Structures are given as C-alpha cells and as structure tokens.
Amino acid sequence: MTASQWLSIGVLAGMMALFIWGRFRYDVTAILALLAALALGIVKPKDAFSGFSDDIVVIVGSALVMSAAMQRSGLIERALGFVSRRVSRVRSQLLVLTTTVGVASGLVKNVGALAMLMPAAFQMAKKNNASPSVFLMPMSFASLLGGLTTLVGTSPNIIVSRVRESMTGKPFGMFDYLPTGLGLLVVGLIFLRFGYRLLPRERRASATLSDAVDISGYVTEASIPANSPAVGETVREFVERHEREISVTGLLRAEVRTIPAAQVMLREGDTLILAGDPDALERTIAGDALALAGEHREMPSGQGNEIGVVEGVIGASSVLIGQTAGRLRLQERYGVNLIAVSRAGERLTRELGQTKLSAGDVIVLQGSLETLPERLRDLGVLPLAERTLRLGSRGRSWLPLILLAVAMSATAAGIVPVAVAFFAAAGLVVATGALPPREAYQAVEWPILVMLGALIPVSDSLRTTGASDVIATGLAHFAAGLPPWGAVALILVAAMAVTPFLNNAATVLVMAPIAAVFAHDLGYRPEAFLIATAMGAGCDFLTPIGHQCNTLVLGPGGYKFSDYARLGAPLSLLVVLVGTPLVIWAWPLR
C-alpha cells in the first residue's frame, strides 16, 4: 500500500471514530475529515468543495422542501383521516398507519412522510386511550422500508445511483428500486402488524411545556361555500361526520345569530361558530372547504408577504380587555386578524368579531410574520410556548402533489435529470405560495447537506488514491469461498452494521465505491451490491441514532434505547433473509 492510501484509510478511520464518539455533530465531523484530507494532500484544493455542487445535495435539499410542502397541504393526512374513521381496532389502525407512511415515503423523503403522519397517530392513540408508542416506532420502521422503493425516498438510494453512473455511465432510475423495496415493504408491514406486541405497552412521552399550556377549547368562525360537503347536512350530521371532535355553538344566517338545534339544515352562506381543539378545527375547516373568518382579508401594505399565525394570552393590561375585535378594528388598525378564541370554563357562542375579550383569554392572531411580535406587544398579548398550529396556515392543497407527480413522471420518463426535476418542483411550490420561503428554508436539514458536501470529496479520495481497490480486494479474498448470495449478504450485513455508528448517507458514501470494486473483483455486475449497500444503510432498526426517523419518534414515543432492538432485531434478520434473494432476483449478478 502507498502512503496516500494509508492516509486515506487513516482519515476514514478517524472520521468513523469521531462519529462513534459523538463528541461533535455529524456535519462538524465531516468538515474535520475534509480539513484533514486537505492538510494531508489526499484531496486537492480545487476539489475540496466539489461536493456542494453535486446532484446529491440538490436532490436531497429539494426533496426535503417537497416533503414540507406536502405536509403543509395536509392531503395525505386528510386521506388517512377518512380511512381511520372506518377503522377502530388498534391492530387495524396500526396497519393503516404503517401502510400509509410506507407508501408516502416512496413519494417524498421518508423523514418528511413520517413527520407528516405523526399527528394522525397521536389522534388515533387518544381515541383508543392508548400510548402513541404502539404506533410510532412501527411507523418509523415502515418509513425506512418505504424509502427503499424509489430513488428519492432516502439519501442512500440517491448516492448509489451516482456511484453507478460514475462506473457504468447510467444512474439508477426513479423506480429501479421498486422490485426490492416493495417486496421488503410488504414483508415488513406484515411483521409489524403482529410484531408490535414486542414493544412495552407502558411507554409514554414525558410532559413538555407545550403540554402544560395545551388549549383544547378554541372557538372559531367559518362560513360554508357552495362546494362544501356540509351544505344540505343537519347540524347533527355535520358534527357526527367529524366524530364529535368539534361542536357548533352558534349559527349566523342572514345576519341573525342563533344557537342551532341538532335538526337545523346547513345552507350555503351560513357562518358557523365552531368549538374544538386546534387540530380538530383545522381538519374540519380544510376537509369541508370552509372559509375561515378573516383569513382572506388583505393586510396593510408594507407589512411583508409572508402570513402566519401566533398563539397568545391576553395580559392583565391589554387594550383588548372588554373590547371586541370588530370595535377595535384589529385588521385596519393593527394589521392582524382574530382567528380563534379560547376561554377557560366558558362556552363561547357569539361570532368572533362580537365576542368581548377578557384577561386570560387565549387567542390566535393571523398577520405578517415580520410584524406579529411587535403587534403582540402593542396589544398586550403574551406569546405562548411555540407549538405547531396549522389553523389559518394551510397551503394550496393540490399543487404540491401535482408538482411532485410531474417531477417523478418527468424523471421516470427520462425527460429531465432527477436534480433538475425536483429542484424545479421545489422552486415552484415556493414561487406559487404553496410553501412560504421561511418554511422552505426551515425544512432543509442544512447539517445533512453540509455533511454530504464535505464527505463527497473525502470518500472520493478512497478511489483516487486506490484505497477502495485495496479494501475491496481484501474483502474479495475473504468472500472468494462464499456462494453468490453470501457475497451479497456480506455487503448487506456490513452496511447494516456500520449505519448505527455513522449517518446512513455517510455509510453509503464510504461503502458504495468499495462494494462496486468488490463486485468487480469477484466477477459480478455492481448493481446488486450497490442496491444491497443502499438497502443496508437505509435499514437501521437497532438504534435511535442511525436514522432521523428513529430519532424523531424517540421522545414522543417515550422509548428507551433498548426498545429499538426488541422490535428491530427480528426485523433486521428478516431484511437479510428476504432482501438477499430479492436483490439477486431483481439484479442478476452476471
């Protein structure tokens, strides 16, 4: 071995040691590895930042933006809610949740799909008086499996596609992963349907500050348009269709306010006073296409284009005390709209503009995000602990799905490259207002992009110095006596073993070039070994730290570190036993 090869392997070993130590965040570790490679001369200065212009970075960032746009639209969540109303048993609900998140993970990045559907899991758990832990870890595992089905489902798939392109001139297509990924997803869903019993039932998340200020009795005002499914229903039918999560406390028709009886028929143009928790109100308004009071009023000029909502409590010296929103002319004078009100121990029945506000009332205000903090101070309203509040902040529902479908179709048909298609889709959801720029930037996981950009030249140094050839040749000698399926299983198991200690993307960046050379030395085509590498890196079921999906459910599910292995170890074994023959069947070795 040459000195440069030793240095390249040394940088790789040092990087892995830092990942395992955990002293530095993964993006900082990647930067340190790049700096070390530059200092030792195994990465040339002109190549140091080539990773940041790589298609991988563009695709991952764009996929995260599209995930956020889909999450904001609420389409998948509403479709799931429609199905869940017809399913009452925990086991059946679990199957619905895991199937939905698995399929969605093939359309958008798996961590985005999981975040999108977690609120539905909490809602189902609450209805069944069960712990969310019954649903969350199986959903996380299903999202990992679902991400294996398409090119954009998970970062490892994108990276191995690039490696294949550099070796053969042809990348993996959008749906080239489907034969292996779909098979594993189906097997995994069947296992999770029965295997969830391996999880402790008593796990519950610890209370948070957001829970301490949880407000469940909001009242808001919405009118019924002509195309709403509420038209022609009685009040009783309307409430029952929404599973009694909301109640109608008042009805305004032809400027006459009443407290409607259950048999009153709803008409176009009626204004409803609705009570319920914020998520239930949002689902009702979005699902029935109701027009939320004040949300379409124009804001005063010069206040910025990005509109959002904020939750606050009226202070003891607030100018709102004893006043109504209509009398104060909140929109004209302060540039904010009153969206909802909550008052402890009292059922509000008047329309929002005529409700007298009191100290201690919790209100939701809508306005320019640039000026809302200042307006809260002017009004004497104290902002509550930040929590996700979608009431009054929905995007254009169908547009993100249409753009996503066009991007995937254009890529699958070979019309444009993946990076161009998804970058264009991400740009259009922001340009059209389906996703505000602030939320788009928040959706991008910048540490992941920094890590990818820094590690691409570091991992490429294994190839340029010849170190990957040396490592692969050593593995090939070890695997010479193994049958073909044994060689594929070796790469799959190795990737699964390394991923809990490295980020899954870092695992593929390091292992994919080695796997490709390993296949060449054994006289096999590289595709099966690249797919096995991506599959192993995308299937960390043993720890909460190897993949963001597992980390995302750790706190809300109240899990312990050891809980992951209880459900994940048998699933990992299943992936190896089923995944190996699937890979060889879908991608012949010769």
Structure confidence by residue, pLDDT tens digits, 421-461: 999 999 999 999 888 888 899 888 888 889 889 988 988 88
What is residue 212's predicted lDDT score, i.e. its pLDDT? 44
Q: What amino acid is encoded at 584 in this protein?
A: I
Instruction: Answer yes or no: are the C-beta atoms of 372 and 334 closer than 8 Å.
Output: no
145 versus 18: the higher-pLDDT residue is 145
**How high is the mean pLDDT of the chain?**
84
Report the pLDDT value the prediction gives residue 364, as an integer from 0 to 100: 85
Residue in the block written with tokens 């392997």: 9
Architecture of the domain delimited by 214-292:
2-Layer Sandwich (3.30)
Token duo for residue 400: 């993100």
**If you search the block for the tokens 């023959």, which residue do you land on?**
581
Q: Grade residue 209 by pLDDT with cuts at 50, 70 and 90.
A: very low
Tell me how crowded residue 82 is: count the other CB atoms within 10 A of its CB.
10
| Cβ-count burial 44-66 (b if 16+ within 10 Å, e if not) | eeeebeebbebbbbbbbbbbbbb
pLDDT average, residue stretch 104-124: 83
Q: Where in the chain is the domain with CATH 3.30.70.1450?
A: 214-292, 307-383
**Which residues in 121-267 belong to E strands, given as ranges?**
218-223, 247-253, 256-258
Residue 103, by phi and psi: left (phi above 0), alpha (psi -120 to 50) or beta?
A: alpha
Mean pLDDT of 86-109: 87
Range of 22-31, 124-133, 244-253, 562-571 with top mean pLDDT: 562-571
3-state secondary structure of 406: helix
Confidence of residue 337 (pLDDT cuts 50, 70, 90): confident
**71-80, 458-467, 569-578: the lowest-pLDDT one:** 71-80
The model's pTM is 0.74
Determine the pLDDT at residue 81.
67
pLDDT, tens digit, 9 for 90 and up, residues 356-395? 898 888 888 888 877 888 888 889 888 875 455 555 555 5
Query: How high is the pLDDT of residue 413?
Result: 83
CATH 3.40.30.10 for the 307-383 domain, yes or no: no
pLDDT > 60? residue 232: yes
Q: What is the largest distance, in Å, between two alpha-carbon atoms of the chain?
A: 88
- Percent of the chain at pLDDT > 90 equals 27
